[in-house]
């Protein structure tokens, strides 16, 4: 089954990337559903590296296509940098404007458009080819083999650029730097082999099969009702989702069901849609909470513990007088009890569960040392 290839790809990418499971899952679901992804984040978070490793899984098996096209866009980017140079001989002979596009975007399976919003001169043409998968030459619309476009940027878009991009890119991700307290992930990152190759190969013929199977996934009334409830609650929180976008989001739900080898979607498939629902980074936490309220309450408990422990320690370090170390210790123990009640987490929640557990243990060690030092000072 092709699903096993995608699962192997997820496994291999997680093996060389640290704390990027959300981004990796989003890229896979984007490719399965043939939708596009944007990654917003600080330099050095591995966005470009992840995209390049991901693209290794999609070779070209047709002479007319290339597996991967990458370009870093800026204000000096010209159309020929993206679409190929003009065929001068053809133009001289026939006055037709034709691009030599064999090694450029119009012939690529996967495209990485780094800093896309900086390419003002070609942005409209890029958005057209991404959205409609056609390339206009001499007024003739030519279909392109583009399966997925990925953009990454280190800075904020202007409001107009954001709206134009948001209309064409379904998932928006915000990869974060590794926590310096997460020793295990840091050590794995430092020791990782950057030249390790991805072994998975998913062909164009296999993708054609995938597309047919994903399109055949059936809608489920309970899932659609849960989706409607989520959209209503988000609206009540000031987060609006257009009809066109909500329909596109269901492509991700179908892709999630297909990845789980089901031909009918269910409510669990809705957890992946968080990346397609926010329009401001401040909304991400609310979006995730609303979705998990109906889909995965266990994950919400884990996230609340993780975020709560970080906030508790941050406030204590800022003003240790306001809350005693013993009171902080008591609250950390209460959070630990919440995790213990979960017992063995669901497989999808295990990484987050382990991280929350790890953080609590580290914080408890810190507080215990402070209490012991204070007791020693008092001669207790």
**What pLDDT, on the 0 to 100 scale, is given for residue 379?**
54
**What pLDDT, on the 0 to 100 scale, is given for residue 348?**
78
Supply the mean pLDDT for the chain: 87
Q: What is the pLDDT of residues 3-34, one digit of tens each?
A: 999 999 999 999 888 888 899 999 999 999 99
Residue of 45, 68, 54 whose CA lies nearest to 10:
54
**What pLDDT, on the 0 to 100 scale, is given for residue 299?**
87
Q: Taking residues 119-141, what's their average pLDDT?
A: 82
Is the model's pLDDT at 97 over the cut of 80?
Answer: no
**What pLDDT, on the 0 to 100 scale, is given for residue 274?**
96
**What pLDDT, on the 0 to 100 scale, is given for residue 188?**
76
**What pLDDT, on the 0 to 100 scale, is given for residue 297?**
86
Q: What is the pTM for the complete model shown?
A: 0.80
Distances (CA, A) of 113 to 75, 158, 320, 333, 349: 14, 17, 47, 47, 32
Is the model's pLDDT at 159 over the cut of 60?
Answer: no
Q: SS3 string of 248-279? A: HHHHHHHHHHHHCCCCECCHHHHHHHHHHCCC
**What pLDDT, on the 0 to 100 scale, is given for residue 127?**
85
| Percent of the chain whose predicted confidence (pLDDT) is above 90 | 46
Q: Taking residues 221-225, what's their average pLDDT?
A: 96
Q: Please provide residue 295's backbone torsions phi and psi, each rounded to the nearest 5 degrees.
A: -115, -45
**What pLDDT, on the 0 to 100 scale, is given for residue 269?**
95
Is the model's pLDDT at 380 over the cut of 60?
Answer: no
Q: Taking residues 185-200, what's their average pLDDT?
A: 81
Q: Taking residues 98-122, what's their average pLDDT?
A: 85
């Amino acid at each position: 089954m092709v699903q096993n290839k995608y699962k192997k790809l997820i496994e291999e990418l997680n093996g060389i990337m640290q704390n990027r499971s959300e981004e990796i899952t989003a890229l896979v679901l984007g490719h399965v559903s043939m939708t596009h992804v944007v990654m917003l984040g600080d330099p050095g978070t591995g966005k470009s590296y992840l995209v390049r490793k991901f693209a290794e899984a999609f070779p070209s098996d047709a002479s007319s296509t290339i597996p991967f096209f990458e370009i870093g866009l800026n204000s000096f980017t010209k159309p020929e940098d993206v679409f190929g140079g003009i065929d001068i001989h053809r133009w001289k002979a026939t006055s037709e404007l034709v691009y030599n596009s064999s090694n450029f975007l119009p012939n690529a399976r996967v495209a990485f458009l780094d800093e896309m919003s900086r390419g003002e001169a070609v942005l409209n043409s890029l958005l057209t080819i991404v959205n409609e998968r056609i390339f206009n030459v001499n007024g003739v619309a030519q279909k392109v083999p583009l399966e997925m476009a990925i953009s990454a940027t280190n800075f904020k878009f202007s409001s107009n650029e954001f709206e134009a991009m948001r209309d064409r890119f379904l998932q928006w991700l915000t990869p974060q730097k590794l926590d310096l307290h997460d020793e295990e992930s840091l050590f794995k990152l430092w020791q990782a082999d950057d030249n390790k190759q991805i072994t998975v190969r998913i062909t164009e013929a296999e993708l054609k099969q995938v597309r047919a199977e994903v399109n055949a996934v059936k809608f489920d009334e309970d899932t659609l009702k849960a989706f409607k409830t989520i959209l209503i609650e988000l609206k009540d929180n000031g987060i609006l989702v257009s009809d066109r976008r909500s329909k596109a989001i269901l492509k991700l739900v179908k892709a999630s069901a297909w990845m789980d080898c089901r031909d009918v979607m269910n409510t669990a498939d809705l957890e992946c849609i968080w990346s397609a629902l926010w329009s401001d980074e401040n909304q991400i936490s609310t979006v995730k909470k609303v979705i998990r309220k109906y889909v995965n309450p266990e994950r919400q408990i884990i996230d609340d513990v993780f975020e709560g422990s970080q906030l508790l320690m941050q406030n204590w370090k800022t003003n240790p007088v306001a809350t005693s170390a013993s009171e902080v210790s008591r609250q950390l123990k209460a959070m630990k009890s919440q995790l213990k009640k979960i017992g063995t987490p669901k497989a999808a929640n295990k990484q987050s569960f382990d991280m929350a557990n790890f953080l609590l243990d580290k914080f408890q060690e810190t507080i215990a040392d402070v209490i012991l030092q204070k007791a020693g000072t008092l001669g207790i």
